[in-house]
Amino acid sequence: MKSLSHTLKLFFIGVILLELSGCGYKPSSQYSRKVIGQKISTNVVISAQDPENTVLIKDAVDRAIVETFHASLVDKKTADTYLSFSITEPTYTPIQYNADGYVIAYRATIVLTIIRETKDLKKRYTAKGTYDFAIAPNAVITDQERFDAINFSAQKAISSFIAQVSAEGSRVGE
């Protein structure tokens, strides 16, 4: 009985895999690779207002390149694509108040400007990321909360950029 159950499981897994391959499904990384290429060089422009967060953005960008695009980070000379990122100064907007009128939650927003350069093209993208977080009533935003908010909103902005690039890649002819 166990071998029949095992055989049925394998059969259903095979059918599912066949269905996915038959419908033309491709991961978004394949589409984005059409646009970005295999070898990528990145640069993050240091913000005069917020230099300590530039390192955070650079790390997030490089991690996204490797994990999402499945590409290699190389120097600018050997790259298929050069990506230059600049970040706006983060804004913090109150989004929730308690019964006494004190702010208890903020939304951090950053905007990344990304310039994508290849041999024959230079294109500009704008990607926005937000992150909502709570604070104690009548308190100031701590450095750790600020750091986390910038990190998470930057990751969302990078995801937005990746989605834009994937959409471009899906429109490129097979």
Phi-psi region of 37 (alpha: psi -120 to 50; beta: other; left: phi over 0): left
Domain residue ranges in the chain = 28-171
Question: CB neighbours (10 Å) of residue 32?
Answer: 24
What are the pLDDT digits (tens) for 79-116? 989 999 888 888 999 999 999 999 999 999 999 999 99
pLDDT at 71 exceeding the cut of 90: no
- Tell me the pLDDT band of 155, cut-offs 50, 70 and 90: confident
pLDDT at 27 exceeding the cut of 70: no
pTM above 0.75, yes or no: no
**Mean local confidence (pLDDT), 30-48:** 77
Locate 118 and state its tokens.
Answer: 């290849």
Annotate 97-158 with DSSP letters as a single string. Answer: E-TTS-EEEEEEEEEEEEEEE-SS-EEEEEEEEEEEEE--TT-PPPHHHHHHHHHHHHHHHH
Q: Is 128 in a helix, a strand, or coil?
A: strand
Q: How far apart are CA 160 and CA 157, in angstroms?
A: 5
Q: How far apart are CA 84 and CA 60, in angstroms?
A: 13
DSSP state of 45: P
Average pLDDT, rounded, for the chain: 82
Q: Is 162 in a helix, a strand, or coil?
A: helix
Closest CA to 157 of 73, 62, 44, 60: 60
Does the domain spanning 28-171 belong to CATH 3.20.20.80?
A: no
Question: CB neighbours (10 Å) of residue 69?
Answer: 23
